[in-house]
Structure 1
Amino acid sequence: MGSLSPVHWAIVIVVLLLLFGSRKLPDMARGLGQSMRILKAEGRALQDDDRRDGPAPTAGTDTAERANPAAHPATGADGPATAQRDAS
């Protein structure tokens, strides 16, 4: 009961032919195929961009600040809040 038998597929095809006509169905299938190719290409491009960019940096600090916080006096020992109080 879960899968469609060949008879069910034949009925679906006949109904589609009656609804859309034999001229529009190949055009619709061609358009669907082009859309799927574009979607796949864009998905690959996004994955390639993510691979090229590398891992995302953590919020607010870079690796040099985490390694040696004293080398960056603008952030201070306690972080940006200390630097803002000292500057005022």
Structure 2
Amino acid sequence: MNIFGIGLPEMALIMILALLIFGPKKLPEIGRSLGKAIRGFQEASKEFETEFKKEAERIEKVVNEPMKATLEPPTQKALASTPTEANPSDEAVTNAEIVEEKTS
């Protein structure tokens, strides 16, 4: 029996020293609190492990998921009557011509 690299004779020596230092009345209380501490540590480590696995799975899912791209429909440009940047009054002339054509 080898726990943490400590054999049976070493364990017995540690138990005898603990009994001499703390006494027979305090030893069960110390054992209980030590057991609760170890149990709490185990629960915390399991919770950490599950959270770590969940996060790793989420990241793996995002990385392996194909990228989705959407294309915008092309905008239609007028070919005939577009005002030029050099002469902004072209727009007024074009609009006036359209109004004259519709009324006649």
TM-score (norm 2): 0.43
Q: Which has the larger radius of gyration?
A: 2
